Chain A
């Protein structure tokens, strides 16, 4: 157990729907990162939050949004889902915002039918 908790582990939904993925960072970590892992695009950085504020943005679609709450947990919202959004979504956390080791959760596998 890495200490980073992601729910749900598996999610199956239909195109056009909206889902929310949740992440609780490791105790003491202030920074949360979201990554998307798919077969054709590998591991892609989506977005980072540090202590409630957005700190960096990667290849995140406009249909996707995220936030980090005062208790430091984070949610990734995916809307108007398309087949191509099917992927493994990882949350990772770190102590600070700067360069350091990421601790990953086990991921949320999203299947869009």
Chain B
């Protein structure tokens, strides 16, 4: 069974600093991978996704993630944090060859941005 592990349930950075949120997956076959963001009192919104092709994926709001098959990782980064980036971030994985599509989510990482 596939699983998704997000290292660090809370990450705190200063405004303007690098953001790095870690995600590892376990699957016998590389899955489709997603990052979602959840702002307070809202549903999850897609930041970016990896399906096939280029392993460096760019998303909205300046975020990007790199798929590394050898490390089974899909870490999310942003060069310079903004106060508005404070939210909870979820990594998700989904096998591409299943008819019963559903995403397995990590436990989430809460990002705090300090002024």
Contacts and interface: CB of A to CB of B under 8 A. Distances in A.
Contact of B43 (A42, A90, A100, A101): A90
B96 A97 contact: no
Interface in B49-87: 49, 51
B90 A43 contact: yes
A101 B41 CA distance: 21
Interface residues of B, number: 27
Contact of A56 (B31, B46, B102): B102
Given A2-B45, A43-B108, A90-B44, A98 B98 contact: yes
Contact of B103 (A2, A42, A55, A102): A102
A94 B46 CA distance: 12
Interface of B is mostly: loop
B25 interface: no
Interface residues of A, number: 27
Identify the interface centre among A43, A99, A102: most chain B CB within 10 Å of its CB. Answer: A99
Contact of A98 (B45, B90, B96, B106): B96
A55 B100 contact: yes
Contacts of A102: 34, 36, 44, 46, 103
A86 interface: no
B107 interface: yes
A99 B96 contact: yes
B105 A43 contact: yes
B101 A31 contact: yes
Interface in B12-65: 31-32, 34, 36, 41-46, 49, 51
Nearest to A42: B107
B99 A107 contact: no
